[in-house]
Amino acid sequence: EPEVTQTPSHQVTQMGQEVILRCVPISNHLYFYWYRQILGQKVEFLVSFYNNEISEKSEIFDDQFSVERPDGSNFTLKIRSTKLEDSAMYFCASSRGLAGGSRETQYFGPGTRLLVL
């Protein structure tokens, strides 16, 4: 069964450093997403991406965040200058992107645990 993969599984970085989190969505999916979950808190939406552009972003997704689909398979989240409060689990997800019911099911990757020191 196809699945979303993410690398690395864990990342430790110093405050102020740039990090890039990588995701390989399911191959025939058209919509891609990033969510994050701070330890003990809810899963929060960051951004959705379709047709090589951002389709929606949350208030969390400020200028220090960016997303890119550099080739036909990868989808990346870049945090330009990490802060302590960016420490969280980051989940990538993808969906087929057709309206209605199961065609909108989102498939999540296992996550990248980011720790900012």
Partner 1 sequence: DAKTTQPNSMESNEEEPVHLPCNHSTISGTDYIHWYRQLPSQGPEYVIHGLTSNVNNRMASLAIAEDRKSSTLILHRATLRDAAVYYCILRDSMEYGNKLVFGSGTILRVKS
Residues binding partner 1 (CB under 8 A): 4, 30-31, 33, 35, 42-45, 48, 50, 55-56, 58, 91, 93, 95, 97-102, 104-111
Tell me how far, at minimum, the Cβ of 34 lies from partner 1, in Å: 10
- What is d(CA 76, CA 83) in angstroms, rounded to the nearest whole number? 19
The two tokens of residue 42 are 């809810």
Report how far Cα 69 is from the mean position of its chain's Cα atoms: 11
Please state the closest distance from residue 59 (CB atom) to partner 1, in A: 13
Q: Which is nearer to partner 1, 14 or 41 (CB)?
A: 41
Nearer CB in complex with partner 1: 81/105: 105
> Taking the complex as a whole, how short is the minimal distance between the CB of residue 68 and partner 1, in angstroms?
18
User: What DSSP line would sit under 21-63, residue for residue?
Assistant: EEEE--TT--EEEEEEE-TTS-EEEEEEEETTEEEEE-TT--T
